[in-house]
Amino acid sequence: MFRMWGKIWKNNRLIRDTTVQISDYSLSRTSMVFQALDEICYEFDLSKPIWLDVNISEFQRVAKTKFVQDNFIEQIPFDSLEIQVIEE
């Protein structure tokens, strides 16, 4: 089972978090990551963040990345959205 943890941070405090599970292994890992991120954004009522080069390289290295205001088109009421793969 593929599981991803999404966390919203503001002033170094965890405001909200959720865990998304995907059990469809016919999907590629990349597809599972994007589907999990879509579900996290839907639950938090957010637009989808833009993946910058720094996010891609960090996620490839440690299966974790942080999206800040630069990754969103609209204004966000928090400091960052962090996603992390917790089980593959």
Q: State if pTM tops 0.75.
A: yes
CA-closest candidate to residue 65, choices 43, 24, 33, 23: 33
Burial of 63 (0-12, 13-18, 19+ CB in 10 A): middle
State the alpha helices, DSSP H only, in 26-82. Answer: 29-44, 53-62
Q: Return d(Cα 63, Cα 86) in angstroms, integer.
A: 8
pLDDT in tens, the chain (88 residues): 899 999 999 999 999 999 999 998 899 989 999 999 999 999 999 999 999 999 999 999 999 999 999 999 999 999 999 999 998 7
